[in-house]
Structure 1
């Protein structure tokens, strides 16, 4: 079984990964009914971290416990503490995963950590803004590949801004081929607009998928 691994660190923006972790872990709208991708938290150690929202999380595993073959995707949240040296090993692990064909998704401050490590120098990407990367990452050399879009996927790396939590979830679900296309479209439209008609349309797609022989 493959897992989604979420790196957790002090001041992490806990809301940014809410959509994607809920859908992966529950599998409630997966086209393969009854399946899911369990979410495991990864820390630089087993010491508890405190999120920006004040939640205390005790990591399930440390970086050394993560086995490449068991990684469906590595999710890197935004945080104010990415510059701390203790987080360098997870970025090194992200590079290892990307180089071997594994999947990585980064949002907000995590994109800055990738920029610092040179991982955005050869992939199209986005972030909070181009100025954000050039101002806070002296080693960033990927300006030519920056895209002024809310979310960008290049091969097996997904990047987005702090405002892209919903888009991140949609892109991860699409990349991992977890929802039927009409389910994903209705799901995204519902959470983007709040209009009940999209929620009922989503439920209808699930009903249709269970009645097709």
Structure 2
């Protein structure tokens, strides 16, 4: 349960859904930040960070993050959404230990969201071959993942949403968050939609410029 205070109203939100957020050494902490904060502060989703061994990790910004869970403790049945942030580890072929869990998440019809180099991992697993998706760059994706076969489904947009998979490029943290909260129906909450508008609506952005 979380108590949310804002200029609009105060509400108590019961946490009855789960967002698993993967953290690992060097992960790009800014990429999932807006999405994670949106879910944790304004929805019934509880954000639960996990690492492969359950031990603390150091993010790309040198922040120590202490996860709540290890990979072995995860239950795909309980996952409503899994978020995979970017980081150099993906291009280095690391983090493959999560593959059985990710496949189980998809088999169970749960939502998977990946940004930046985490999309390289999805491509390496064949997850992107037959669905619309994006990444940092098509050429880089093909070079980094020779086995990738999804070129005809590549969409040159900041973020792309399908029934089960959301992908985004590494410069599109806001678009990534927007795709996630849209897919989960959070924008139906007027309080949240107003707050989130400051991050992406032109009429709000113009407030900061003369």
Q: TM-score range by the shorter chain?
A: 0.7 to 0.9
Aligned length: 192
Is this contact kept in 2: 1:91–1:114, CA < 8 A?
Answer: no
| 1:101 aligned to which of 99, 109, 115 | 109
Q: Which residue matches 1:61?
A: 69
The 2-side partners of 1:85 and 1:47 are apart by 20
| 1:49 aligned to which of 54, 57, 65 | 57
Q: Residues 54-97 of structure 1: CA distance to partner in whole angstroms, max 9, x if unpaired?
A: 00112211122111232120000000012456511323322221
Q: Which residue matches 2:173?
A: 165
| 1:129 aligned to which of 122, 137, 140 | 137
Gaps of 5+ in 1: 28-34, 200-213
Q: Quickly say closer, same or farther: Cα 1:41–1:197, change in 2 above 3 A.
A: closer
Q: Quickly say closer, same or farther: Cα 1:120–1:195, change in 2 above 3 A.
A: same
Matched, 1:40 2:40: no
> TM-score when scaled to structure 2?
0.83
> TM-score when scaled to structure 1?
0.82
| 1:78 aligned to which of 86, 93, 105 | 86
Where is the strand percentage greater, Structure 1 or Structure 2?
2
Matched, 1:174 2:179: no
Matched, 1:14 2:6: no
Is this contact kept in 2: 1:186–1:198, CA < 8 A?
Answer: no
Could you tell which deviates more after superposition, 176-185 or 157-166? 176-185
Shift of 1:45: 0.4
| 1:2 aligned to which of 17, 20, 23 | 17
Where is the helix percentage greater, Structure 1 or Structure 2?
1
